[in-house]
Amino acid sequence: MSEIEIILKDQLSDNPSMLTTSQAVLLYEKAPLNDLLFVANRMRERRVPGRIVTYLIDRNINYTNICTINCHFCSFYRPPGHKENYTQSINQISERIRELEEIGGSRILMQGGVNPDLELKWYTDLITELIARHPKISLDCFSPIEVEGIAEVSGLTTREVLTEFKDAGMHGLPGGGAEMLVDSVRSGISPLKGSAKNWLRVMEEAQEIGLTTSATNVFGFGENIEHRVEHMSKIRDLQDRSVSKGLTGFTSFIAWPVMLENNSFGKMNKGTNRIELGAGSVEYLRHVAVSRLFLHNISHIQASWPTMGLSVAQIALNAGADDIGSTMMEENVVSASGTTKTDASIDELKNSILDAGYTPCERDSDYNILNVHTESIQSVVR
């Protein structure tokens, strides 16, 4: 029996071992695809019992495009003073939330850039007013790098900024800005974004004060498989620390390949054959499967339909993922770099889940089930 077969057989056992980084790299690189996806799907069934797949009715709001970080793969941001700069008003943001309420949504994900012109009070006033106008909507806002920027402007620590936001009514801190938590890769694509250690520290602070958090991973910058697994390892280690303190930690892990069509990073390397960029469908599915096996302490793995399309996201549901993501309604950051589909209707998500053989379940930002659509399956059977 080969080493790969031994590892996969162990993962199918009643008491599977925690994968080492070297084992994860071996599976990622060399495990037969069908075997890898099969074992990851079995692990998913163990972690999330029942043939359910969740989705979220939410909206992305990019409140400003002003940013000083200048990530090479980002086509969304504009530097201070640029003629295309914008920062939305409270009324503009509130109107977008009202449109979400009309379709029964429960969460907004609001992120922007590191805008040096916005002080802490601007953010706390925004959160307080939005909570007053839309009390049933969870506000998952900003990212660790935005929090760092706000802390610098305000002269506070990142923990103090997070505490101010939570006191104002913010529900969660999304996992944006992680990309690759490997400094040798990070410094080449986002030299001003700060270290992996900083991102992890801010996330740990958010978890310690009770904010809902998620972990993300953008890959395909020319890094190797060891780098990708190292990223997962840092996420897993933080999750272990948080769970050991009785905290929820990360609710989920979401990974997707970098989009390269419309940014300087993609154009800079186009046709040079210096490094292989991006990732195709098979590589993406391997990434999802390995993340399910490696991240034994994170319950939910999300498929990425905005970058891979709904058809590949459906396959990911049989490769370890148990969540198909959210409606989004609008998306400006990833789409600016090349993806063509930036929203999905509720019916599209439900039908994609049904077609993959699962029961669609609407959830909230904390993965509480709000609605189980058993009637959809009955109508299909007829």
Instruction: Give 84 or 43, the one with higher predicted confidence.
Output: 43
- In the chain, the number of structural domains is 1
Q: Give the integer Cα–Cα distance in Å for 155 and 354.
A: 50
The stretch 72-93 carries a mean pLDDT of: 75
**Contacts of residue 318, Cβ cutoff 8 Å, sequence gap at least 6:** 37, 41, 356, 357
pLDDT bucket at 73, cuts 50 / 70 / 90: low
Domain coverage including residue 292? 3-381
The stretch 260-283 carries a mean pLDDT of: 60
Which residues are paired to 256 by β-bridges?
Answer: 218
Burial class (CB in 10 A: 0-12, 13-18, 19+), 159: middle
Instruction: Report the CATH number at residue 358.
Output: 3.20.20.70
CA angle, 249 then 253 then 259, to 5°: 140
Residue 334: the pLDDT is 47
pLDDT bucket at 279, cuts 50 / 70 / 90: confident
**Contacts of residue 361, Cβ cutoff 8 Å, sequence gap at least 6:** 52, 53, 54, 55, 369, 370, 371, 372, 373
The pLDDT tens digits of the residues spanning 282-295 come to: 999 999 999 999 99
Instruction: Give 57 or 273, the one with higher predicted confidence.
Output: 57
The stretch 177-206 carries a mean pLDDT of: 91
Cα–Cα distances (Å) from 129 to 114, 121, 122, 134, 171, in that order, read: 21, 12, 11, 8, 14
Report whether 282 contacts 31 (CB < 8 A).
no
Instruction: Give 73 or 43, the one with higher predicted confidence.
Output: 43
Residue 104: the pLDDT is 96
pLDDT bucket at 204, cuts 50 / 70 / 90: very high
Give me the chain's average pLDDT, please. Answer: 89
Residue 375: the pLDDT is 61
The stretch 90-98 carries a mean pLDDT of: 96
Percent residues over pLDDT 90 in the chain: 74
Residue 380: the pLDDT is 43
Residue 276: the pLDDT is 61
Residue 65: the pLDDT is 79
The pLDDT tens digits of the residues spanning 140-169 come to: 999 999 999 999 999 999 999 999 999 999
Lowest mean pLDDT among 94-108, 181-195, 198-212, 330-344: 330-344
User: Which residue is listed with tokens 């640029």?
Assistant: 82
The pLDDT tens digits of the residues spanning 329-357 come to: 864 544 444 444 567 899 999 999 999 99
Residue 382: the pLDDT is 32
